[in-house]
């Protein structure tokens, strides 16, 4: 791995394309860390670049030295391929993804339906079962699809925000792994519960379709996923409330991009189990959404 070399002079940081390299200078003699445009450090013992999930040999074979850890999910693609042979449109920075624990078949089916209906037939939700019963979540190209340019503006925003949640990293550049419980009609989870690291897809399903305007299913999905992603990035775990306001602000920004409108940052309480969310549409008109949470599946009027 890269090693710092110090002399009795100075150390400076020089930035180059997609990566940074440490440069140490003494009497016009410079030693710099090897770093290529892929942004990954070189393992000097092996001579390979480490991408988190597998090694890459750039000098001779220009190839991966092991199969993709998720290769069994793509039998029609070479296990040594990168991003389904489409590196211009797709990225896979670490080979790892968020983990979802589904509570009942309805929760899984509805989750997939909400994600898939927001991706215009070009991509779909891919769930890989893990040993502990959770599923690793990713979005992958559909057969004959994979073209982001064929998505409308709302679908593109949904795709981009999902990729942000899936590909996020920790502060030191490592994989950001986080777990989310997915429910269907849980009275203790109203669309999402920040503290419990949980979402309710039956509640999300009560909102509008993506292109209908106002509050949408995909907008709510990306809101809750973004909150949990940002929570994990901050180092907070299940049971923590710390950082909610910070994460909620990012979640509303992501929701606004997907919906194509502006949600008020604060909901208006109407007493009891009733709340009101206000959205400003592109034409400036206010759109009010009334939400009742006194049943297992919320009731939405808009």
Vertex 252, ends 246 and 257: CA angle to 5°?
135
Q: Which of 130, 110, 140 is nearest to 179 (CA)?
A: 130
Helical (H) or strand (E) element with 278: strand 274-280
Contact 197, 188 (CB under 8 A): no
pLDDT of residue 273: 87
Instruction: Check the CA dihedral 185-240-278-275 and report its sign.
Output: positive
Q: Model confidence at 33, in pLDDT bands (50, 70, 90)?
A: very low
Enter the tokens of residue 114.
């909400």
**What rounded mean pLDDT belongs to the chain?**
80
Maximum average pLDDT range among 12-16, 34-38, 216-220: 216-220
Q: What number is the average pLDDT over the span 225-250? A: 95
| pLDDT over 80 at 45, yes or no | no
How far apart are the C-alpha atoms of 226 and 204, rounded to whole Å? 15
- Judge whether 126 and 139 are in contact, CB under 8 Å: yes
Q: Is pLDDT of 6 > 60? A: no
Pairing of strands 179-183, 99-102: parallel
pLDDT, greater one: 26 or 238: 238
What distance in Å separates the CA atoms of residue 202 and residue 221, rounded to the nearest whole number?
11
What does the pLDDT read at residue 53? Answer: 53
Band (72; pLDDT cuts 50, 70, 90) = low
Residue 30 — pLDDT band, cuts 50, 70, 90? very low
Residue 171 above 60 pLDDT? yes
* Predicted local distance difference test score (pLDDT) of residue 254: 98
Of the segments 21-30, 37-46, 94-103, 276-285, which one has the largest average pLDDT value? Answer: 276-285
Burial of 84 (0-12, 13-18, 19+ CB in 10 A): middle
> Is 21:14 a contact under the CB 8 Å cutoff?
yes
pLDDT at 223 > cutoff 90: yes
Asked whether 296 and 186 are in contact (CB, 8 A), the reply is: yes
If DSSP codes are grouped into helix, strand and coil, which group holds residue 147? coil
62: left (phi > 0), else alpha (psi -120 to 50), else beta? left
The confidence score (pLDDT) of residue 169 equals 87
CB 229 within 8 A of CB 246: no
DSSP designation for 103: S
At 27 the pLDDT is: 42
CB contact at 8 A, 200 and 192: yes
Tell me the average pLDDT across 77-87. Answer: 61
CA distances from 126 to 123, 139, 143, 180, 215 (A): 9, 6, 13, 16, 25
Residue 95 has pLDDT above 50, yes or no: no
Tell me the C-alpha to C-alpha distance, in Å, between residue 44 and each of 25, 53, 55, 173: 21, 18, 12, 20
Confidence of residue 131 (pLDDT cuts 50, 70, 90): confident
Structure confidence at residue 146 (pLDDT): 95
Asked if 218 contacts 254 with a C-beta cutoff of 8 angstroms, the reply is: no
Q: Are 229 and 178 in contact (CB under 8 A)?
A: yes
User: What is the per-residue pLDDT for 28?
Assistant: 42
Task: Please state the separation of Cα 48 from the chain's center in Å.
Answer: 28
pLDDT at 133 over 70: yes
- How do the domains of the chain map onto residue ranges? 10-85, 99-301
The tokens describing 132, both together, are: 């502990």
Whether the pLDDT of residue 44 is over 80: the answer is no
pLDDT grade for 177, boundaries at 50, 70 and 90: confident
Of 161, 167, 203, give the one whose Cα is nearest residue 182: 203
């Amino acid at each position: 791995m890269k090693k710092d070399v110090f002399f009795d002079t100075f150390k400076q940081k020089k930035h180059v394309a997609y990566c940074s390299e440490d440069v140490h200078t003494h009497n016009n003699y410079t030693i710099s860390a090897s770093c290529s445009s892929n942004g990954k450090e070189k393992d000097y013992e092996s001579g390979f670049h480490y991408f988190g999930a597998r090694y890459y040999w750039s000098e001779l074979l220009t190839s991966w030295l092991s199969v993709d850890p998720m290769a069994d999910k793509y039998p029609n693609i070479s296990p040594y391929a990168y991003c389904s042979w489409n590196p211009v449109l797709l990225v896979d920075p670490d080979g790892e993804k968020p983990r979802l624990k589904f509570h009942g078949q309805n929760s899984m089916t509805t989750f997939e339906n909400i994600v898939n209906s927001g991706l215009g037939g070009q991509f779909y939700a891919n769930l890989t079962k893990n040993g502990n019963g959770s599923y690793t979540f990713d979005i992958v190209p559909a057969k004959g699809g994979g073209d982001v340019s064929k998505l409308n503006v709302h679908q593109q925003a949904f795709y981009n925000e999902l990729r942000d949640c899936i590909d996020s990293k920790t502060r030191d550049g490592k994989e950001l792994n986080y777990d989310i419980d997915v429910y269907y009609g849980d009275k203790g989870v109203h669309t999402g519960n920040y503290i419990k690291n949980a979402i309710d897809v039956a509640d999300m399903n009560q909102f509008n379709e993506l292109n209908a305007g106002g509050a949408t299913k995909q907008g709510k999905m990306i809101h809750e996923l973004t909150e949990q992603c940002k929570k994990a990035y901050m180092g907070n775990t299940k049971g923590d409330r710390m950082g909610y306001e910070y994460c909620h602000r990012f979640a509303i920004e992501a929701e606004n991009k997907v919906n194509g409108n502006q949600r008020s940052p604060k909901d208006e309480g109407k007493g009891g189990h009733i709340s009101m969310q206000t959205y400003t549409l592109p034409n400036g008109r206010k759109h009010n959404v009334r939400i009742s949470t006194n049943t297992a599946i919320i009731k939405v009027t808009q």
